[in-house]
Each structure stands twice: as C-alpha cells, then as structure tokens.
Amino acid sequence: MKTTTEVCLVELFRRGTAGFLYVEDQLIDSVTTLRKFWRDVSQPGFKLLFSVKANPNSSVLLALQPHVDGFDVSSRHEAALLRRLGISPTSITWSGPAKTDRALAEIYQHGADCIHLDSFDEWQACQRFEGQRTIRKSIRVGISDSPSKKLGFSADEFSRLLKSPDFKLSGEKFSGIHAYLGRDAFSTTKLAAFLEEVKTFRKADVWADDFELYLGPGLPAVLTTDASLRSGLIEPLREICSSHRMSIECGRAVSQPSGYYFTRVLAVKKTDNHVRVIIDGGLQHMAGHLRSPSYGQTGIETYFFRSAQRLEVSEQCADIQGSLSIWYDKLLENVKVPASLERGDWIVIGHCGAYGYTAACNQFIGPTPIGEWMLSSRGEMSNVFPEQLMSYHAVLDGR
Ligand SMILES: Cc1ncc(COP(=O)(O)O)c(C=O)c1O
C-alpha cells in the first residue's frame, strides 16, 4: 500500500465509519495495462469498455471516462446514471437479460452503441420501437459450459429467430456476436471454444459488413497486477484472437485493484484451534465474498491498524467473517493476523474495488452505514458516497 493511501485510510478511521477508498491512479493504471495487453493480442481498433455493474460509483465512472472507449450496462438505472454524468448514450452497449420493455423504450429514446440481444423474445420486443430509430444489435451466444445457460442464444433459438416470418420480413443484419465468458473464467481454451462457436453462427447470412466481436472476457482482477500472468497469455491469445476486431467489456480487472475496504473488528474468536475474526460488515457491504473461483485470494491484501498505528501480523491465521449469521458470509480464509488483534481495531482489505457496496447495497438486518471516498490523482480525498449512491437509486425519478 502506498503511503498516501495509508495516510488517507488513517484519516478515515478517525471518522469511525466503515467504507471503501478508491485510488484514481490505480484505476487509470489498470486501464492502461489492460489496453496494452489487449493491443498486443488483438487487431488494432479494439475498444475497451467498463462494465458499470462492477462499480457504479459516479466518481469511479467519471475517473474512468477519459481512459475507456465506453461503458456496458445491464439496466436502465446504470444507463440513466451515465446519462446524468454527461456520458453519451452512443458510447453505451447493453448486455444482460433484464432488458424490460421500459428499458428498451429508453434505449430507443436515447440511442445506444449496440444492444446485445439475449433471446428471440427480446428481438421481438425491440420491433415495437424500430420505427423510432435503428440501433445496432448483436447476438449474445450462450456459452455451452456456462453455469448461466439461461443467457444468450443457443444454436436452436438462433435458428428459430432466423426462420421466423417477422425476422425474414425485417431484413435485419446483426452487427456482431457477444458473449460473457464468466467470472474469472477467462482462459485461452474457453475463448478458443467460443470463437469456434462463432464460426457456426457466422454461417448464416445475417451479418453486417462491419461485423464485430463483443466480449466480456471475464478477465481476473489479478491480470492487471500480475505481469507474468499477462506475458504467459500473450502468445496463445495472439494466435486465437489476432484475426478478430473486438470490443471487450471488463469490470473487476479494471476497478478491483483500485479499492480498499475498511471496517472495524467486532470480535476475535478462538475455538478448537480455529480463529475467526468477526468484522462489522462483510457481505452486507459487498455483492459477494472476495475469494475468486479460479484465483482464490491471490492479489488480496489485508492490513490491520489500531488507531493510526499499523499492527504487524503474526504467524496466527484466521478466517475473516462478516457480521451476518450465515455460513457464506466468510470474506477470506486463513489470513495472517496480528497476535494482539482485538475488538475496535481496523481491518483494511485491498483489491476490493469491484462488486462492493455501490454495486450491492444489501439491507439484510440493517448494515452499519458506510462511506465511499476517492483519492484523486492530485492527492485530494473526497467523499463520494452516500451522495453518489443516493443519486444512483434516485436517478430514475430525477431526484
Ligand atoms: C455481460 C457482462 N459483461 C461484463 C461483466 C463484467 O465481468 P467481470 O467483472 O468479470 O469483468 C459481466 C459480469 O457479470 C457481465 O455479465
């Protein structure tokens, strides 16, 4: 952790509120690293989008805006928030199965770069608005080994669309194919399998000349901080990607390394040689626990403080558990903790800038109120929540 970040955190402890601190320089570093990585493997002209669901904090979005080519959203809340920040709808792509009629009406009202169609039903629903303006559409392909098989078109559903009289009459050409490979599920094998599936879909005569591949690659957060992981991927990726023009949308790989979550220790419990540190928050402040299905706790850092004093860790290991009485509220396992750790000390967890509070807002048994702060590149710290979160929820009714 950089000294400036530590100084800010200590200042925040004095306020007594749990929260998140985002570091703007780290956000920019992640985007720069990702761009360079993808430039090395794919065709020139690729686009890098930020997936808003990973962190819809307005300050994070504004910090990222000059450095990304656009944003991907999955709900009208996210799109309305971007519009309110002055971000052009034509730099927004729409993914996800939650495109309600109201969402579609707003897409056609304001415009969008591309709608990634999730189903035949969605294509039909779009037809009601086609008179208003034409918006590029892509076909989201269901990844066959994905746990979320509900998402995207299977080959059967795609052929049902193509055979339908309404589609034939429309003469529509699709601008590309979209897929999300899954949380941390990116691998060259998975990408190669998807590109094979793309070949089958492309046999149909329904593609526009400026065909593009839109991909949520599911890159892990550690990719931006682990140079050897990146360099090991470059050659195999270049081999399978370099003939495609791609637009990639990333969430955690962009924002996760930039965020620090901090809260107080409520109890240190020792039972049967097992130590559990109970913290004030946990899943109440996050969209999910912090262990990646593929990378475990790699990249996640923990620090402990008593007031302004950093505590040295000992050889003693503990699980870090949130304050909900549910088994899955275990944020981290087997973390080295200070021998003297006690109620009232602070824990800081680094690599928490994605799928945190602004993304999740879990109200179960009333979480301790939280704040979010941004440490800007100019070295200034500002409170970017609760005001910003209020606006995220209120944005649709113009509050
Ligand atoms: C369609 C789509 N794109 C992008 C993302 C962002 O994923 P990640 O944070 O793994 O980069 C998600 C996450 O669920 C998604 O559903």
Q: What Å distances lie between residue 212 and 141, 175, 178, 372, CA to CA?
A: 13, 6, 9, 37
CA distance 388 to 384: 6
Lowest pLDDT segment from 39-53, 171-185, 238-252, 384-398: 384-398
**pLDDT value at 392 more than 70:** no
Instruction: Write out the E strands in the chain.
Output: 18-23, 47-51, 70-73, 92-94, 114-117, 137-140, 174-180, 207-216, 246-250, 259-271, 274-279, 301-306, 309-310, 317-321, 330-336, 346-350, 370-375, 381-385
161 Cα to the center of ligand 1, angstroms? 25
Q: What is the pLDDT of residues 266-324, one digit of tens each?
A: 999 998 889 999 999 998 888 888 888 888 999 999 999 998 999 999 999 999 999 88
| pLDDT, tens digit (0-9, with 9 covering 90-100), for 313-326 | 999 999 999 988 78
Which residue's alpha carbon is nearest to atom 9 within ligand 1? 251
* Tens-digit pLDDT profile for residues 125-159: 999 999 888 899 999 998 766 556 678 899 999 99
> Residue 270 CA to chain centroid, in angstroms?
35
Task: Classify domain 24-255 at the CATH superfamily level.
Answer: Alanine racemase (3.20.20.10)
Specify the pLDDT at position 397: 55
pLDDT at 11 > cutoff 90: yes
Cβ 70 under 6 angstroms from ligand 1: no
Instruction: Indicate yes or no: pTM above 0.85.
Output: yes
Q: Which of 50, 71, 180 to mutate to test the pocket of ligand 1 (most atoms within 8 A of CB)?
A: 180
Q: Is residue 250 lining ligand 1, measured as CB closer than 6 Å? A: yes
How many Cβ atoms from other residues are within 10 Å of residue 131's Cβ?
8
Residue 166 has pLDDT above 80, yes or no: yes
Residue 351 has pLDDT above 70, yes or no: yes
- pLDDT recorded at residue 147: 58
pLDDT surpasses 70 at 233: yes
Residue nearest to atom 6 of ligand 1 (CA): 251
Query: Is 242 a residue whose pLDDT tops 90?
Result: no
Ligand 1 close to Cβ of residue 95 (< 6 A): yes
Where residue 210 falls among pLDDT bands split at 50, 70, 90? confident
3-22+256-397 CATH: 2.40.37.10
How is the chain split into domains, by residue range? 3-22+256-397, 24-255
The CB of 56 under 6 Å from ligand 1? The reply is no
